[in-house]
């Protein structure tokens, strides 16, 4: 089961990178793609820990903060 989850997230990451390459010149598209990727990272992490039955507030906040911090930093770099 774990390898299936890793494969799904790897495919999602590759699709994100390909989309970034294709829409690199359109800053709004890049920001929207990055937002979708950050959101999917949060959802994937929460789903993983729900399946493992070890989700707690600390883990939840970790995923949310990492996702939004990454999104914020990329927004500063992409759309100044």
Q: Read off the pLDDT of residues 32-71 as tens digits, 9 standing for 90 and up.
A: 998 998 998 899 889 889 988 999 999 999 999 999 998 8
Number of domains in the chain: 1
| DSSP 8-state symbol, 16 | H
Please answer whether residues 22 and 59 qualify as being in contact, where contact means their C-beta atoms are separated by less than 8 angstroms.
no
Q: Is the pLDDT of residue 1 over 70?
A: no
**Cα dihedral: 19, 20, 23, 26 (round 10):** 140
Report the pLDDT value the prediction gives residue 61, as an integer from 0 to 100. Answer: 95
| Mean pLDDT taken over the chain | 88
Domain of residue 28, residue span: 2-78
Q: Is the pLDDT of residue 6 over 90?
A: no
């Amino acid at each position: 089961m774990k390898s299936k989850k890793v494969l799904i997230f790897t495919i999602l990451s590759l699709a994100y990178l390909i989309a970034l390459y294709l829409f690199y010149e359109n800053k709004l598209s890049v920001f929207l793609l990055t937002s979708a990727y950050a959101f999917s990272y949060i959802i994937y992490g929460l789903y993983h820990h729900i399946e493992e039955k070890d989700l707690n507030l600390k883990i939840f906040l970790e995923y949310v903060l990492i996702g939004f911090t990454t999104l914020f930093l990329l927004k500063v770099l992409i759309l100044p």
